Amino acid sequence: MQRLSARDLLERLVSFPTVSRDTNLPLVDWVEGYLASHGIASHRHWHEDGTKAALFAHVGPMEAGGIVLSGHTDVVPVDGQNWTSDPWVVVERDGRLCGRGTCDMKGFDALAIWALVEAKARGVRRPLQLALSYDEEIGCTGAPPMIAAMQAVLPQAAAAIIGEPSRMKAVNGHKGGAGYRVHVKGFEVHSSLLPQGVSAIMEAARLICWFNDRNAENQAKPASAMAALFDPPFTTLHSGMINGGTAHNITAGDCRFVMEFRVVPGESPQDWCTEFEAYVAKVRAAMQAVRPEADIVLERFFDVPPLTPEVSGHAEGLVRRLTGDNATHVVSYGTEAGQFQAAGYSAIVCGPGDIAQAHQVDEYLELSEFQAGLDFMEKLLSELA
């Protein structure tokens, strides 16, 4: 098979509708076959239900000290969005490449695949690795098992570049996070008999008020030097979805909501989770003192460690050298970079596009950004050669 251009690769990747709720296997099959046609062996790590897989590969000498180019294959849905053109077809319009995932983050994935094949064709003295995960969009759940599988098969790379859209700037820090699905189980009685029942909604409100109180405390206290880099410069607690109840005059039997922590580096997401769970236990005990059937069930559905700026970090030094960017950039959202760092890699976020375009109607990647990403990959190949 001929070596495809980065643009051709992007068009092919976008054509696979790899929404997180669905399979990504057609994309993985195609990438695996394309790499194999150029003499590159791939490895898969399967999701436990067999409907998805991560893919990783290695080019160059089988030795430690290489570079990982890492991206995710899944995208968010287009349901309810009124697109100007087919979201699964890349359309060039006004200097932009429009299509679902062009920015977040199949643009980088295409560049990474292009670079790996070029590295194989040109030859490199230092290794280059590719890592493509699944389920990033639903809580970065696919990267940790992929990383563990990589470390069991491939030599440990010295640096991981996670290509989330950063306008090709070196993002060396981001917040960590954790999220819970919360199910509050009450006991229904007529609202005129309120003390004899347990309102799931009113008990859920205690938990949400606890979030508000912690936010107020965090905002009021002086920010640490690390936290001061972020906007906002403190850990935040948030609930964005809630539903429950049967009627206005019945104590709610059920209430469900979702909450998340966004934790600044220097603080532990686990410490925040432990504090939350302790408060839940206190509220649960009070509920069960009224009705033993009452309960609060927690499902922790994502954990993302922070990306902490490294002192003389290898990944940061490499990206700054290749981009010429010497400014400090941190972000308040999470990425898989923190998971690579937690696994022992020097990690950095650097990729084409603006995060503001992620998940949007008519999502796009500017042609100039895609070209900047291609220029970056050319410099990286020269560095590895």
Active site residues: 74, 136
Indicate the SS3 state at residue 22: coil
The phi, psi pair for 208, rounded to 5°, reads: -70, -35
* Strand pairing class (91-93; 171-174): unpaired
Question: How far, in Å, CA of 253 to CA of 380, rounded?
Answer: 58
In this structure, are residues 75 and 18 in contact, taking their beta carbons and an 8 Å threshold?
A: yes
Question: How far, in Å, CA of 150 to CA of 154, rounded?
Answer: 6
In this structure, are residues 108 and 352 in contact, taking their beta carbons and an 8 Å threshold?
A: yes
Question: How far, in Å, CA of 45 to CA of 316, rounded?
Answer: 28
Q: Which residues on adjacent β-strands are paired with residue 129?
A: 58, 68
Both tokens of 241, joined, read: 């979805």
In this structure, are residues 59 and 40 in contact, taking their beta carbons and an 8 Å threshold?
A: yes
Contacts of 248 (CB under 8 A, 6+ apart): 191
In this structure, are residues 122 and 381 in contact, taking their beta carbons and an 8 Å threshold?
A: yes
